[in-house]
Chains A and B, each alone.
Chain A
Amino acid sequence: MGKITPENQSVVVRFAGDSGDGVQLLGSQFAESTALAGSDFSTFPDFPAEIRAPVGTTFGVSAFQINLGARRISTAGDQPDVLVALNPAALKVNLPLLQKGALIVLNTDAFNERNFSKAHITADPRQTGELDDYQVIEIAISTQTLEAVKPHGLSKSDAEQCKNFWALGAVLWMFGRDRKPIVEWATKKFAKKPSEILAGNLAALDAGHAYAETAELSAEIPQFVIGEAPMEAGEYRSITGAEAIALGLAAAGELAGREIMFCGYPITPASSILHHLSKMGDLGIATFQAEDEIAACCAAIGASFGGAIGVTSSSGPGIALKTEAIGLGMAVELPLVIVNSQRGGPSTGLPTKTEQSDLYQAVYGRNADAPLPVIAAAGPGDCFDAAIEATRAAIRHMTPVFLLTDGYIANAAGPWELPNMDDYEPILSNAVNGDAAGKNNPTELKKAIWNRDQSSLGRPWVAPGMEGLAHRIGGLEKDIETGDISYDAANHQAMSDLRAKKVAAVAEFIPDQEVEQGHTKGPLAVVGWGSTHGAIWRAVEEARNEGLDVAQVHLRWLSPLPKNLRRLLSDYDRVLLPEMNMGQCATLLRDKLGLNVIQLNKTSGQPFKVAEILGAIRENYPGAKQAAE
């Protein structure tokens, strides 16, 4: 077999094996080599909810998918072109994802009766004809690995552990990638382990590479040619959404010159943000693992009261618990950033799978009239800026702000152009105006504490410890001017109006909505929010290549919506809205803008495929059906 230069300049590779096979490491190192080769990519780690599922079972299968290309890559890919399956369970689970003609690399050593029965496979799939439509390469990877590491004297189990490196070596050859950076990385990673571990893994890496390269086999194993993708000049790194949020919060703290006090309670897929932040003490971040989500949210608000930037984070069920405290945060007008890494629900739902179904919760989900700003990150890299923007709004308007991401964004990685910190405006907080402090005039002092900025409606951020400004805050309705407890009817109306206006005021500080692809008016716009960005981008691009006049509009602030959004969307005959829920943003647009939209909803726990959105575009394109008839 010769060299393959894919027509669409991209290839989707999926690695799959048992949870203990080191599949995630294999995948992420392959991604790293892709990055260094200058190709664009997007990854999607897909792992089981069970920590250690029984070896060889289908529910213990861990997978890592990567889409790499010599062009812009916006999703982890609809259907794998290459599957590396380390055991029968991995083949069984992933086979349905493949398109016909895909290349399957099998570790034949794992194809035995014991593993068949663990995976509930009745007949060897290599004999049943079910692989006939694919191009199958059978390699005794385990045997090859054991052979390669033999000189280094590893125990049998340690030696077997090296098979992911063997597979990595073979795949690196398939894509013409350099082994050197992997060797450097592994040398660092295994520095503290007994020396034979490193030696064994490197021997396996080389052996896999050599095996693939060997003359007679290279006839069988294809080589893919994926060159550099066109990207703007600059410095890049690979980043996941969780890392980008952590760094974005650190950046926000730096821009504001204040400590970030992050208070969380573990929950999948939000925990990784806590893990990243807990290593960032040197960036002015303090992390507190509370006894539950309620305490985490309360502690974060307490920290904000104390003058640090309180941040709390969770996933749907945990956000539900934080609700009462969030209402208090709004009532007392303190800044707070609430990160929600959404996952499949309701209730405990699908902890490791993704969804966008907490939008109602963010926009509407509190007791009483309690509007809040809500921003959603569009992808891993965008999490950095979204975290800064959320913090900026929280401090400017003195209010809790929701930052939505999801399981897909949290774990997915792609190249990210490093921002220049000098490009960001400092985050300024509202100061007490005049010389209210120390005047010993309680009435004047209170007015100063609640004297809101006319444009943002944010009040001064006064923290205990500040001389002469002692005051009391609380959740009881307060007088709009003095902050004293007030049950006055007109005052409550005025405060309710103020809270609504405050969120509306955010729209004055955010950019007008722009059209990302396509024309500013026309037959069809595809509107999205959050992590569907990539899939929509590719689908719209393909539709436009087909000659359909389609535009892409991606929302970032969902509360408030950009001021020009109604007018902008009114210029399209139809609006299609794909989202990973049963229609929450569609409700929002109907509610806030009186706009009707065509819904495309998916709640399978898996991100949208490009083909699904493209199909909906074709189907809903005005006149499309008639033309076809």
Chain B
Amino acid sequence: MNKPLTAKDFATDQEVRWCPGCGDYAILKCVQKTLADVEADPNKTVFVSGIGCSSRFPYYMNAYGFHTIHGRAPAFATGLKLANPELDVWLVTGDGDGLSIGGNHLLHVLRRNLDTQILLFNNEIYGLTKGQYSPTSRVGTRSPSTPTGSIDAPVSPGAFALGANARFIARGIDTDAKNLSPVLKAAREFKGAAFVEIFQNCIVYNKDRFEDFVAKKTAAETQIHCEHGKPLLFAKGEKGLKLNTSTLTLEIVDVGDNGVPVEDVLVHDETNRVMAQMLLTLPMGSYPMPLGVIYRDPATSFDDAFTHHHPTQRKRTGKVADALRKGSVWKKN
């Protein structure tokens, strides 16, 4: 019997070159461990990335890997997966890579529902180019290119994905492997584009940006872990989210003796697009951060349709010699 795989089996001989303390390390560990847990085959696993600190990821994974060009990883992954649908394709991108230069491609890979796992490392900053603000940076972000604070409104990766008709949207935190790993497994199992936003700490240019909901001490109060079929509770079950039917918004309620009965708390339905919309657009700060699998509603994946349901694709049954003679052919003697 083979001995069980460990995270080490998915590490390469390359020296990892992120800044000490960067959240990318934790994500790398978590992905390596998760692949070991699910006994993934490195020969059939591919990591495709764009450009950015996060996009160095493939070099550190013992699997096939392709570090491509800025923003375009979804397009490379599409060609790769269509060429060989057997592969387990992972896409690694940053908030700048995926939502600035690559926003277009991200939109299309999501709406096409290509069977891949898309890990978007969101650190709300451009790391590799030394700290300029990114499309997820909040208004007022001071950076080398916005010394007096940024003025453009940020995009919410989850809401973007939902708008692009993604069929799987989840969230996790770099250092919270306990909750991130199941999300990665679910993403891998999903037949289609599985979009995972991972809050990642850029210790150098945007240190502790997410501390308000990431900090372990206050996590119970500031995070809400979504589980299909279970009420949306947090703060150790003392609080919950309830639908205000007159404003069609979610509101925080106390649950139990001093508040509403648990039956009044909204039950998470991961197939409910409207609920996903509400959870993905909850204002930051005043609400807990929804994490876990927020939306999952499978549909035929693009590669599957391309291979099996598209009548004119890729079935070599003819010969070129015959095709040349289609139509009118005449002979000269």
- A233 adjacent to B332 (CB under 8 Å): yes
What's the least CB distance linking B268 to chain A, in Å? 33
Closest chain B residue to A334 by CB distance? B66
- Whether a CB of chain A sits under 8 angstroms from the CB of B75 is yes
- B59 adjacent to A282 (CB under 8 Å): no
- A302 adjacent to B83 (CB under 8 Å): yes
Cα–Cα distance between A606 and B177 once the two chains are bound (Å): 65
Which residues of A (470-504) have their CB < 8 Å from a CB of B? 470-476, 484-485
What's the least CB distance linking B86 to chain A, in Å? 6
Q: Specify which chain A residues have a CB less than 8 angstroms from the CB of B306 in the assembled complex.
A: 286, 288
- B64 adjacent to A470 (CB under 8 Å): yes
- A474 adjacent to B67 (CB under 8 Å): yes
Cα–Cα distance between A314 and B64 once the two chains are bound (Å): 30
A-B interface contact total, Cβ < 8 Å: 219
Q: Assuming the A-B contacts A250-B320, A278-B312, A281-B312, are A305 and B80 also in contact, with contact meaning beta carbons closer than 8 angstroms in the complex?
A: yes
- The one of B59, B61, B332 in contact with A38, judged by C-beta atoms closer than 8 angstroms, is B332
Q: Specify which chain B residues have a CB less than 8 angstroms from the CB of A232 in the assembled complex.
A: 332
Q: Assuming the A-B contacts A279-B312, A286-B306, A474-B59, are A299 and B78 also in contact, with contact meaning beta carbons closer than 8 angstroms in the complex?
A: yes
- A282 adjacent to B66 (CB under 8 Å): no
What's the least CB distance linking A271 to chain B, in Å? 17
- Whether a CB of chain A sits under 8 angstroms from the CB of B217 is no
Which of A185, A247, A286, A307 gathers most chain B CB within 10 Å?
A: A286
- Whether a CB of chain B sits under 8 angstroms from the CB of A600 is no
Q: Which of A45-53, A107-115, A290-298, A526-534 contacts B (4 or more CB under 8 A)?
A: A290-298
- The one of B44, B66, B74, B333 in contact with A472, judged by C-beta atoms closer than 8 angstroms, is B66
Interface flags, B318-333, vs A, CB<8A=1, else 0? 1111011101111111
- Whether a CB of chain A sits under 8 angstroms from the CB of B48 is yes
Tell me if B's interface is mostly helix, strand, loop or mixed: mixed
- Whether a CB of chain B sits under 8 angstroms from the CB of A421 is yes
Which residues of A (302-337) have their CB < 8 Å from a CB of B? 302-308, 310, 324-325, 328, 332
- B67 adjacent to A310 (CB under 8 Å): no
Closest chain B residue to A228 by CB distance? B332
Closest chain A residue to B61 by CB distance? A472
- B329 adjacent to A237 (CB under 8 Å): yes
Which of A232, A281, A300, A418 gathers most chain B CB within 10 Å?
A: A281
- Whether a CB of chain B sits under 8 angstroms from the CB of A234 is yes
Closest chain B residue to A443 by CB distance? B13
- Whether a CB of chain B sits under 8 angstroms from the CB of A259 is yes
In the complex, 8 of the A-B residue pairs with CB atoms within 8 angstroms, ordered by the A residue number, are A237-B325, A280-B312, A282-B315, A283-B316, A290-B75, A302-B79, A325-B69, A463-B84
The chain A residues found within 8 Å of chain B, CB to CB, are 32, 35-36, 38, 181, 185, 231-238, 247, 250-251, 254, 259, 261, 263, 278-288, 290-292, 294-296, 298-308, 310, 324-325, 328, 332, 418-421, 442, 463-476, 484-485
Contacts A35-B330, A286-B313, A287-B313 supplied; 12 other A-B pairs, CB < 8 Å: A38-B330, A235-B332, A250-B320, A280-B312, A280-B323, A286-B314, A290-B108, A295-B75, A298-B72, A301-B79, A469-B43, A472-B12
